[in-house]
Amino acid sequence: MINGKNILITGGTGSFGKQFTKTVLEQYRPNKVIIFSRDELKQFEMQYEFPKSQHPSLRYFLGDIRDKERLLRAFSDVDIVIHAAAMKQVPAAEYNPLEAIKTNVIGAANIVDAAIDCGVEHVVALSTDKAVNPINLYGATKLCSDKLFVAGNAYSGAKKTKFSVVRYGNVVGSRGSVVPFFAKMKETGIIPITDERMTRFWITLDQGVKFVLQSLQTMTGGEIFIPKIPSMKIVDLATAIAPNCQRTIVGIRPGEKLHEMLLSEDEARNAFDIGDRYVIADANKLEYWKSQPSAVPVGEDFRYASDTNNEWLTVAQLQDMIDSK
C-alpha cells in the first residue's frame, strides 16, 4: 500500500522520521516522501544524508502542525500521513504546559481536520506509554491526542480518511533517550540513577518503524496498536553502558513514573491479543475485532506494564541493542 503513494511524515527530521524515511526508500517505491517539520537547519542537514540525486522522490516542506492552513497546503494529494511530531521532553512540558498543549493537542486536532479536508486515506499517529494513566503533562497531552485520532474516524463520516494510533515505549538512542545521557556521564565516572527499582519498555528505532508499517497495513480505523516488547531495568542499562562507573541515586524527576504501562485494566475491556501485538478497539469496531479468528480478548483484569512483563532484556542484550542502534 506504500508503492506509488504520496507519504508525509510530520516531525520528519526527528529520530523516527529519518529511520522511517530510510526504510521506506530502501524497501518500497513511493511516489513521494514528504518531510514536514519546522526546523530548516535539520531539513538542510537531512538533504545531505539523503541526496536528491539518489532519492528523487524525497521532498521537504517547512511548517508547524500548530498552523492548520500550512497543513492544508502540505496535505494536498497526500495518501498517507505518519504523525511523529511532538513536544516530548517531560521536564520541558512540565514547565511549558501551554506549549505542549499547542503542539500535542491542538496540533493533533489540526492534523485530523486537514487530513479529512484533503482526502488523506490513512493517518497513523505515534503515541507513548506515558499516555496510559498519565501523571505528567506530556502523557496527558498524548492521551488527548490519542482520543482525537480515534474520534477522527467518526468525524470523517462518508469520507475515506482512516485514523489509527501506535503506542510503544522508550526508543533506544532516540533524541532525549537516557542512552546518550548515560554515555556522556560515563566520562565523569558517575552515573546518576533516579531509582534502582525503575523499569521501562524498550524498543529500537528499526523495530518501531516496522511496527508502524505493519500497523498501517492492518488498520481499519480507530485502533490503538501496542507491540509486545521487552522490559529493562534502569540499573541493567547503566551496567551495559558504564559497567565500571559509580552510581548515585538522584530521585525521580517531576512527572516521572517508577514503571510504565502500555495497556491498563480499564482499556483491557476492549483489547485483543492478535499475536505479536495487542489492539485496543474503538467501541464502533468491537464487533469487527470479535469476529477475527486471530483476535483473543485479553480479559478485564489484564494489564501490560513494564514491571510485570514476561520478557526482560539482559545486560548483554542491552549492550547489543545499543551497539547496533
Residues annotated as catalytic (active site), given as ranges: 130
**Interatomic CA distance for residues 172 and 200, integer angstroms:** 11
**Interatomic CA distance for residues 8 and 60, integer angstroms:** 10
Residue 99, H or E segment: helix 97-101
Q: Pairing state of beta strands 32-37 and 304-305?
A: unpaired
Nearest-10 crossing angle of helices 107-118, 137-155:
20
> Torsions phi, psi of 260, nearest 5?
-110, 160
Task: Name, in order, each residue with C-beta under 8 angstroms of 170's C-beta and a sequence gap of 6 or more.
Answer: 129, 177, 178, 200, 201, 202, 203, 260
CB 32 within 8 A of CB 57: yes
Name the DSSP letter for residue 128: E
Residue among 128, 96, 127, 99 at smallest CA distance from 257: 128
Cell numbers linked to 225: 496498536
DSSP-assigned letters across all residues of 239-282:
HHH-TTSEEEE--PPTT--SS-EEE-TTGGGGEEE-SSEEEEPP
CB 163 within 8 A of CB 112: yes
CB 197 within 8 A of CB 256: no
CB 165 within 8 A of CB 128: no
Max CA separation in the chain (angstroms) = 61
